[in-house]
Amino acid sequence: MEPSSAHFQPVKNAEKEKFSVDQAELSLENGGPLPEGYGDNRLVILPRDPLWFFAYWEITEGRIEQIRQEHGRDIWKTSALVLRVYDISGFQQDGLAAAPFFDIEIPPESRQWYVNVPQAGHTYRVEIGLRLSDGRFIALLRSNSVALPAGCVSDQTDSQWMAVGGLSERQDWENFLKTLPAPGSGGGSAEFSKSMAQRWEFLRSVFSASSSRLSSSAGRLAGVEPAGQPKKP
């Protein structure tokens, strides 16, 4: 009996069906757009590389209205919005008055800015504010401080390296290696297993001795003598 054509499906169509997706079952929530602000007055700076950092900020309507009430309704039209960048290397974090600075004039609608600094490896802090025509500065927000990387090879040349284990232990290790059968020398598996067992015992004794010396040194640094020995005056 031949199969009915109504129930017959070619193999190539069956392969396609494995990868088909029912659009009715596919439901994705796009969500709403990100808000322009979060109602939080803040200025944040983040290091990017030795000569650049990134700044972003939010000034709420409440803060803008407060400045209008304190300095006049047209203060935002008659002044320039600037980022005042302080180089606070060697200064107290809050001692900005004595720290050198430079200004970057930015568009009023800006919410972020990349800042290029003249000195790598320095620590910076930023205030965003209004610079009046007579030179006065009205600070609106103050940022955190960031220390930029030096951007050069370290000048530390007096580093010293310590070898684990004393000279006698290294000599014992070298002598032990000479007793191991060389690859392809014809040594049997039993002989090799015995050599590996001896190697393991030797390594355990070396690291046990090294750990004991490290513990003893740490105890002396902390003012504690090893057990069984009186504490030195």
Among 122, 126, 78, CA closest to 104: 126
pLDDT of residue 35: 75
- Which residue would you say has higher pLDDT here, 222 or 27? 27
pLDDT greater than 60 at residue 200 = yes
Distance CA 185, CA 33 (A): 74
Among 58, 56, 59, CA closest to 146: 56
pLDDT of residue 108: 92
User: Would you state the structure tokens that stand for residue 87, as one six-digit string?
Assistant: 């180089």
CATH number of this structure's domain 42-147, picked from the four choices 3.20.20.10, 3.30.200.20, 2.60.40.10, 1.20.58.1290: 2.60.40.10
pLDDT greater than 60 at residue 167 = no
- Which residue would you say has higher pLDDT here, 167 or 152? 152
Mean pLDDT of the chain: 77
pLDDT of residue 73: 93
Greatest Cα pair distance, the chain, in angstroms, is 107
pLDDT greater than 60 at residue 226 = no
Could you read off the pLDDT of 9-40 as tens digits, one per residue?
Answer: 555 566 666 566 566 555 666 767 777 778 89
User: Would you state the structure tokens that stand for residue 47, as one six-digit string?
Assistant: 């290091």
Structural domain boundaries of the chain? 42-147, 167-221
pTM: 0.54
Any residues with CB less than 8 A from the CB of 230 and at least 6 apart, and which? none
Among 73, 230, 47, CA closest to 148: 47
- Which residue would you say has higher pLDDT here, 169 or 42? 42
Q: Above pLDDT 90, what percent of the chain?
A: 43
Handedness of CA 212, 218, 221, 226 (dihedral sign): negative
Could you read off the pLDDT of 48-104 as tens digits, one per residue?
Answer: 999 999 999 999 999 999 999 999 999 999 999 999 999 999 876 566 888 999 999
- Which residue would you say has higher pLDDT here, 170 or 148? 148
pLDDT of residue 166: 57
pLDDT of residue 44: 97
Distance CA 141, CA 41 (A): 7
Average of per-residue pLDDT across 214-233: 51
Cβ–Cβ under 8 Å, residues 96 and 88:
yes
User: Would you state the structure tokens that stand for residue 192, as one six-digit string?
Assistant: 């090799």
Average of per-residue pLDDT across 184-195: 62
- Which residue would you say has higher pLDDT here, 153 or 118? 118
- Which residue would you say has higher pLDDT here, 121 or 95? 121
Q: Quick one: angle between helices 189-221 and 167-179, nearest 10?
A: 170
Q: Above pLDDT 70, what percent of the chain?
A: 54
> What are the residues facing 82 on neighbouring strands?
105, 129
Handedness of CA 195, 196, 199, 201 (dihedral sign): negative
